[in-house]
Structure 1
Amino acid sequence: MNAGLSSLNGSAAHQSPNTTQHIWIITGPAGCGKSTVGFRLKEELNVPFIEGDDFHPQSNKDKMANGIPLTDEDRWDWLISLRKAAIDLLSPSEANGYQSPSGVVVACSALKQKYRDVMRIAAYGAPNVQIHFIYLKVDESVLLKRVANRKAHYMKSGMVHSQLQALEEPQGEWDALTVLVDGPPDTVQKKVSELVAAKLAEQGVRV
């Protein structure tokens, strides 16, 4: 666990209604490591985690399993459901003892800027919510190898190329950070953790 983030466990895991809450969206094409990075970040921050793949309707999963790229129309409802899930988890409820968590981590490809814009709506009308995109940048050859090694997953290696064709890397987007996935998982996680710790420090959160 990253030393800078470990201090957030426990007392900092839940916030008062007026404290800034963060939605950390781990983005990138299939095989970049979104789920692995997202789950480990969730553990470091002691906040809920949303696996974006779980929110795809069966029709989307069937298309991808058959090598058919998703269209914008296929993704709208998926993105909206993810956004709603993130907002719900940040809200006081019986499930969290009516104590809002300090944030939520979401693994979501968000390949295009307009997809990221759909997620950004989560902060509209909620001045205490901030959204951050962490884009995991990785070479196509690495993506193909990783996806090919997956077992019992609907996303096959043939879909990587279509995702890269659709990909619009976040450039000039003020709330997006890029992490080059060019090393072992622990190295990548350390980069992500340091970026997150720096962002929290800007909010006055001690890390």
Structure 2
Amino acid sequence: MLSRHIWIITGPAGCGKSTIADYLSRCLQVPYVEGDEYHPAQNVKKMAEGIPLTDADRWDWLVLLRQKAVEKLAAGCDGVVLTCSALKRKYRDVIRIAAYNDHDVIVRFVYLRANEKVLLERVRARKGHYMKDSMVKSQINSLEEPDESEIDVLSVDVSGSLSSVQGAALAKVEESLGED
């Protein structure tokens, strides 16, 4: 049986999750699920007011994102690209459960790594987005960067040009496909 993939594009606000996810979705010819579209209204309100989300705020959202990705696979897709900050290992673990329940599903994270300066510049440049500077700092403080024990994480430095980041992300994804 052929494996099906869930590609989770992760990292703090401003790292380029949506841009890279859209690019990978088009290159891989798989659906793209924008995680921010599934935040409950109260979560969006909290973030817009500069109030960091708690673990309790995130659990149902994380389960819903995992469910949406699995639904795309169940509908016959070979893969799906999903955006989710997945700042903590336990958040990534919630999505990893998709592979525990279905052994032909492979979950991989593409962690978009950036320093605080780059993230703040990018968030400040956004127009009409609910994520503000203070939330970037909160996300950085909450961030548990993936380490070598998380073998399903592909790390991409996003400090370069958009085309170089897109190329690096696609190269890592294609390389991992060759290993599966």
The TM-score normalised by the length of structure 1 is 0.85
SS at match of 2:2: coil
Taking only aligned residues, the RMSD between alpha carbons, in angstroms, comes to 0.8
SS at match of 1:104: strand
The reply on whether 1:68 has 2:51 as its aligned counterpart is: yes
Residue in structure 1 matched with residue 110 of structure 2 by the alignment: 134
Gaps of 5+ in 1: 1-17, 93-99
Structure having the higher Rg: 1
The reply on whether 1:199 has 2:176 as its aligned counterpart is: yes
Residue in structure 2 matched with residue 48 of structure 1 by the alignment: 31
Aligned residue identity for 1:70: L
- Displaced runs of 4+ in structure 1, greater than 2 A? none
Which residue of the other structure, out of 119, 129, 139, is the alignment partner of 1:153?
129
Which residue of the other structure, out of 5, 8, 17, is the alignment partner of 1:34?
17
Residue in structure 2 matched with residue 144 of structure 1 by the alignment: 120
Residue in structure 2 matched with residue 180 of structure 1 by the alignment: 157
Gaps of 5+ in 2: none
The reply on whether 1:103 has 2:71 as its aligned counterpart is: no
Aligned residue identity for 1:173: E
Alpha-carbon distance between aligned partners in 2 of 1:115 and 1:104, rounded to the nearest angstrom: 18
SS at match of 1:191: helix
Aligned residue identity for 1:129: V
Alpha-carbon distance between aligned partners in 1 of 2:20 and 2:68, rounded to the nearest angstrom: 19
Aligned residue identity for 1:182: S
Residue in structure 2 matched with residue 7 of structure 1 by the alignment: none
Aligned residue identity for 1:106: L
Aligned residue identity for 1:122: A
Which residue of the other structure, out of 77, 80, 90, is the alignment partner of 1:114?
90
Alpha-carbon distance between aligned partners in 2 of 1:38 and 1:66, rounded to the nearest angstrom: 26
Give me the identity figure in percent.
Answer: 54
Alpha-carbon distance between aligned partners in 2 of 1:127 and 1:160, rounded to the nearest angstrom: 36
More helix per residue: 1 or 2?
2
Aligned residue identity for 1:163: Q
